[in-house]
Amino acid sequence: MSRRRLGLTTATALVIANMIGAGVFTSSGYALAGLGSREHVLLAWILGGLIALCGALSYSALLRRMPESGGEYYFLSRTVHPLAGFLAGWVSLLAGFTAPIAVAALALAQYLGPATGLELHPQTTATAAILLAFVMHGWHVGRGVLLQNSIVALKLLLLLAFILLGFLRLSALEAIAASAETVASDATFDIGAFAVTLVWISFAYSGWNATAYIAGEVKDPERNATRSLWLGCAIVTVTYILLNGVFLYAAPIAALAGKAEVGAIAALALGGRSMEVFLSSIVTLALFSSVSSMILIGPRVYARMAQDGLFPRLFHHETEVPQKAMAFQALLAIGAVWISDLKSLLGYVGFTLGISGALTVLALLQQGRKLGAAIVPIPGYPFTPALYIAMTLGASGFLVARRPTEALFGIATLLVGVPLYFAFRGRRNRV
């Protein structure tokens, strides 16, 4: 049991760090371009939080039954089929961690420039951030986690300060509020555009399942691991709604729509250069903690797969830190940094992770049907997991229709995993 060294505070901090990343500081600009209404975008953030909370409550029940590391890979391997688990692990590798780390690191580079007043090369800066996170966690769990928790606490305090300053400033800008109502009343509700927005926003909410990847290292997991999921998710949901309330009303729609740096634009409109520097510093800190948390937890999945013989044995580890798997994750993320496009990655990651999460929660419903509802103690069961599945798959379906390229990349990721599974299984059987 010595491997179980992480408590409720650390597990919750990992959820928060994994969730608050690039998505919340970039998605609203793209969403506003598609919806044309601040109120519709805020509604998407509220609904996205509700969907994420349903997912967190569902995963809590899975962790009570199987409190081990590995996330969707472990759940689906044990409840459905090893192939389903492998595909979930493969998705975790590419869409769950590699692409989001690249997105967060690139966004960090965009915000670090305004925060420091320097002109920085985005890819080089992003690469340095990933390497720093690897150094932070690559040799000792305790020291890296302590630093991670401190960064998360600081970024939450700074975000709260920005939200309070933002609302105080907005209350003095009555003209902006009045014009916002006029624009919103003219915008029609487009269900397809709203669904695509939900997929983008689901990327911002992804990470609520962070504890599932390291549950085998959490003390008293039936209590701490399960609580950390919904507690971290609830904290982030409230933060997101308030933060986007500030972002969306701080500047005219034309200034925000379609822009990735929506937070910086809003801060500049609210308080000039000093407010922009303040927010850029917060965002830089938040994005680095997101990169750091994913570098910490992602390799645990590949180490578990290697232990089961479904990934190269090189990544199996006997020590407390899966160094080789962590180095592999860092190298993949650095590679993605040099070939990525931020906007397309938002749709790809949201779609692919949504499918993986929905299948995992569907497996939970199947377990409840076979073994009885008592085996999956979820508030509102079976409606809570059913709502998560329906909303996630529904939004993904609209993405296929509206932005087929991003969806096709997600489907291709799954299809490529099938022959890889049989190759690894065949080699395992020969050993």
Task: Give residue 134's pLDDT.
Answer: 92
Task: Give residue 228's pLDDT.
Answer: 93
Please report how the helices 99-116 and 342-371 are oriented relative to each other, as an axis angle in degrees rounded to 10.
140
CA nearest to 353, candidates 420, 294, 428? 294
Average model confidence (pLDDT) for the chain? 84
Instruction: Measure the CA–CA gap between 121 and 180, rounded to whole angstroms.
Output: 36
- Please list, in sequence order, all residues whose beta carbon lies within 8 angstroms of the beta carbon of residue 300, skipping any fewer than 6 positions away: 69, 70, 213, 214, 216, 217, 322, 325
Instruction: Determine the residue type at 108.
Output: L
Task: Give residue 164's pLDDT.
Answer: 92
Q: Is the pTM of this model over 0.85?
A: no
Instruction: Measure the CA–CA gap between 159 and 241, rounded to whole angstroms.
Output: 12
Is the pLDDT at 200 greater than 80? The verdict is no
Instruction: Measure the CA–CA gap between 32 and 425, rounded to whole angstroms.
Output: 46
List the structure tokens of 393: 């798959």
For each of the domains in the chain, give its residue range(s) and CATH number, in order of start. 8-430 (1.20.1740.10)
- Give the mean model confidence (pLDDT) for residues 252-261: 84
Instruction: Determine the 3-state secondary structure of 6 from DSSP.
Output: strand
Would you place residue 187 in the very low, low, confident or very high pLDDT band (cuts 50, 70, 90)?
A: low
DSSP annotation string for 346-382: HHHHHHHHHHHHHHHHHHHHHHHHHH-GGGS--TTTT
The secondary element (H helix, E strand) that includes residue 30 is helix 22-35
Is the pLDDT at 141 greater than 70? The verdict is no
- Give the mean model confidence (pLDDT) for residues 19-35: 84
- Give the mean model confidence (pLDDT) for residues 45-50: 93
Residue 6, beta-bridge partner list: 218
**pLDDT tens per residue, range 142-161:** 677 788 888 888 989 999 99
**pLDDT tens per residue, range 262-273:** 888 888 888 888
Task: Give residue 181's pLDDT.
Answer: 47
State the maximum Cα–Cα separation within the chain, in Å, rounded to a whole number.
72
Would you place residue 95 in the very low, low, confident or very high pLDDT band (cuts 50, 70, 90)?
A: confident
* CB-based contact 315:73 (threshold 8 Å): no
How many contiguous H segments (helices) and E segments (strands) does the chain have? 18, 0
Residue 218, beta-bridge partner list: 6
